[in-house]
Structure 1
């Protein structure tokens, strides 16, 4: 039976990367806050440079998760490097793109009428993209629960050679579909951020990126503390 288990060193390598990525995320958050507080007209180039660095930081994360997904896409849909609380917020192995827009609404209060109009267009496009992907995810879940897959799974302990091939084919088809969903979801997340950055001014973008980083790090901190408390008390 053909298998493609995640090699321990591959997962360990990603988890090491992720810990370092979070450290850099905290550093960028501090730089963003400093840039916002020292706002002045002659610092526009520095602001744009920082924005580019932060966006490259996120792109690095997407590239690393894409590598891991090619090894074992199932890991991305239930990532062991996240806390249990962080996992409850996942949609297609990441945050919903619409969350990005809610963060903008909370962090940027000085949008012009034209910016507001363009943001509404992005919200509509993002909503449609999320709807399509959510429907695709639902179909995937239905296919996993469909009689042929369930029957094969129940017979795994007494499966015959011919059925092994059928099970392998079903799992490979599921992997391919999940990988495609992940790629499409990441594409929607990245395109949403790109559209937002294109609409906002540099200072507004700094505020948005700072709020996004703050949100992620706070969720991370709270989730890890919650898991630690559960471990100490034995609560599941």
Structure 2
């Protein structure tokens, strides 16, 4: 199975879990529902872990393929950071979703009515999220520096590449594999830690918002690629 086939199958499975989360969120809350939400959230986290395990295997055999990402749309590739999404995007999404939900029922909050959703993050949660965001930014910068160092090493090794030194090329590619692995590890760690900070309902709402953003970007990107392809004139 190619990685593109794996990703299509993986995305279909993610949609099914997200549909279950959405249906559970839509009905009146109970203790059983909270357990079900947490179970489904954990299932999504495991699902993403499987994705990165498969991606790591691809990277070990052909790390440059991860950067080319022929399975992704042009839009998706334009948003990539070290062959994937930027981890701090998670925080921007959560703050945006929290603000939208808070504003949508601010009148209820003023009347003392609580929904327990992402619009009601408590001070302790906000503090932990802020600390994690700062740490994630720091680690992002370190990975960016590592990628920059790799690019400089490639430039210095250009004579060896031209001279047909496969050992030099192999060492450089191994370094790039390590950089991508650290980026993927940070992506996964950030998602897992954010989810752990939230209640089952909040975590489910966050996972749904994250998945819907991913689905939306992919759908729009594929549509744009099709439109662009249809507009080409053969000669």
TM-score, L = length of structure 1? 0.85
| 2:18 equivalent in structure 1 | 29
| 1:79 equivalent in structure 2 | 69
Q: What aligned pairs does 1:1-236 form with structure 2 within 5 A after superposition? A: 13-42=2-31, 43-107=33-97, 108-146=118-156, 148-149=157-158, 151-153=159-161, 155=162, 163-164=163-164, 167-234=165-232
In the aligned structure 2, how far is the partner of 1:84 from the partner of 1:170? 31
In the aligned structure 1, how far is the partner of 2:37 from the partner of 2:24? 7
Q: Is the 8 A contact 2:63 2:177 kept in 1?
A: yes
In the aligned structure 2, how far is the partner of 1:193 from the partner of 1:15? 23
In the aligned structure 2, how far is the partner of 1:207 from the partner of 1:39? 15
SS of residue paired to 1:123: helix
Q: Is the 8 A contact 2:160 2:168 kept in 1?
A: no
Which segments of 5 or more consecutive residues in structure 1 lack a partner in the other structure?
1-11, 156-162
TM-score, L = length of structure 2? 0.86
TM superposition shift of 1:13:
2.2
What does the per-residue CA deviation read over 1:31-71, in whole Å, with 9 as the maximum and x for residues that have no partner? Answer: 22112212412211111111111111111101110111111
Which segments of 5 or more consecutive residues in structure 2 lack a partner in the other structure?
98-117
TM superposition shift of 1:28:
2.1
Greater CA drift, 119-128 or 28-37? 28-37
Greater CA drift, 32-41 or 119-128? 32-41
